Amino acid sequence: MGSTTAPTAESRSEVDDLSEDDVFEMLSNRRRRFVIHALKRAEEPVDVSELSTHVTAWERGVDPDAVKYEDRRNVYSTLQRIHLPKLEEKNVVRVDEEANLVEPTPTLDDLDVYIEVLRGREIPWSLYYFGLAVLAGLVLVGVAVGVPGLAALDGTTAAVFVVTAFTVSALLHYHYGERARLGNLEEPPEIRKRE
């Protein structure tokens, strides 16, 4: 699982050594995101076969026990040849080829990855907050100039409305953000169904 202690100066500098491009490159592939998710949840090194079973299950939307050998073999091969070496190159995992084990490094433990997954007609949080700010601004201007309907409100009531709207939004954003972090819940964020 992810580290809950403050990162050491050495591990913090390792995370700082990763550029935004490095992080985006790591996250640009769904299999690597699934590997990162699985390793952030692991409490000990993970066998590559077990890792490939989980990645295959998530890709196919099935239970890990239902994964067939033929399906897992392709994932296993690409993990070994492509994805794990890329992650090891960025110092986010260590691969023990003799024991066939992968473990997260302090760099991965300290890397907090948030994936904003949009489904259907959802809007990104940044656009939501922009709309909320515009609405709050219109309410405040409406109260100040005496727009009918808003003229009955005083400045304090309008301010309480704005603060409440942003507080409720921030709490919701925090809740959904925690669910969208790699390694926080059983399944990766992009395959979970919205509750």
Q: What does pLDDT average to over the chain?
A: 81
**Domain boundaries defined on the chain:** 20-116, 122-177
How far, in Å, are 36, 134, 190, 193 from residue 119 at the CA level? 22, 24, 9, 10
What tens digit of pLDDT does each residue of 144-184 get?
Answer: 888 888 888 888 888 898 999 999 999 988 887 777 777 76
pTM over 0.85: no
User: Do residues 34 and 79 make contact, with C-beta atoms less than 8 angstroms apart?
Assistant: no
pLDDT class of 18 with cuts at 50, 70, 90: confident
Crossing angle of the two packed helices 48-60 and 30-41, in degrees rounded to 10? 120
The CATH number of the structural domain formed by 20-116 is 1.10.10.10
Q: Yes or no: say if 26 and 92 are a contact pair by the CB < 8 Å rule.
A: yes
